[in-house]
Amino acid sequence: MATELVRYGVPVRIIDKAPHRTDKSKALVLWSRTLELLDRGGGAAPFIDAGYKALAVNFIASDKSVGRVSMETIQSPYPYALMLPQSETERLLEERLRGLGVVVERQVELTTFKARGDGVDAVLKHSDGKEESISSDWLLGCDGAHSAVRHGLAAPFAGETMNCDWMLADVHMKGYPCPDSEATVYWHRDGVFVIFPISPGRYRLLADIPASGAPLPPTPTLEQVQAMIDRRGPSGTKVSDPIWLAGFRVNGRKVANYRWGRVFLAGDAAHVHSPAGGQGMNTGMQDAFNLSWKLAMVVRKTSSERLLDSYSPERSAVGDEVLHAAGRLTTIGTLRNPVAQTLRNLVGHVMLGFSTVQHAFADTMSETAIHYSSSPLNGPALKGARPSPGERVVPVEGQTPVGSGNTPLFALFADKNADTLNLVNTFGSILDPDIRPSVRASGIWLVRPDGYVACSSSDPITVADYLRALG
Ligand X SMILES: Cc1cc2nc3c(=O)[nH]c(=O)nc-3n(C[C@H](O)[C@H](O)[C@H](O)COP(=O)(O)OP(=O)(O)OC[C@H]3O[C@@H](n4cnc5c(N)ncnc54)[C@H](O)[C@@H]3O)c2cc1C
Which residues lie near ligand X (CB under 6 A)? Answer: 15-18, 26-29, 86, 109-110, 142-144, 148, 168, 246, 248, 267-269, 275, 278-282, 284
Strand ordering across the sheet containing 453-457: 411-413, 444-447, 453-457
Q: State the Cα–Cα distance between residues 411 and 72, nearest whole angstrom.
A: 28
Give me the least distance between CB of 192 and ligand X, in Å please. Answer: 14
Residue closer to ligand X, measured from CB, 279 or 407: 279
Residue closer to ligand X, measured from CB, 319 or 389: 319
Length of the chain: 471
Tell me if 168 sits within 8 A of 205, measured CB to CB.
yes
Residue closer to ligand X, measured from CB, 266 or 467: 266
Give me the least distance between CB of 126 and ligand X, in Å please. Answer: 11
Give me the least distance between CB of 353 and ligand X, in Å please. Answer: 27
Give me the least distance between CB of 22 and ligand X, in Å please. Answer: 7
Per DSSP, the three-state class of 316 is: helix
Give me the least distance between CB of 16 and ligand X, in Å please. Answer: 5
Q: State the Cα–Cα distance between residues 16 and 446, nearest whole angstrom.
A: 38
Chain position whose Cβ is nearest to ligand X? 267
Per DSSP, the three-state class of 317 is: helix
CB within 8 Å of 382: residues ≥ 6 apart: 440, 443, 445, 456, 457, 458
457, 461, 464, 470: CA torsion to nearest 10: -80
394, 398, 404, 410: CA torsion to nearest 10: -50
Q: State the Cα–Cα distance between residues 120 and 136, nearest whole angstrom.
A: 5
Of 403, 404, 356, 385, give the one whose Cα is nearest residue 443: 385
Residue closer to ligand X, measured from CB, 197 or 284: 284
Residue closer to ligand X, measured from CB, 287 or 450: 287
Per DSSP, the three-state class of 445 is: strand
Q: State the Cα–Cα distance between residues 111 and 340, nearest whole angstrom.
A: 48
Give me the least distance between CB of 394 and ligand X, in Å please. Answer: 23
Residue closer to ligand X, measured from CB, 222 or 421: 222
Residue closer to ligand X, measured from CB, 27 or 455: 27
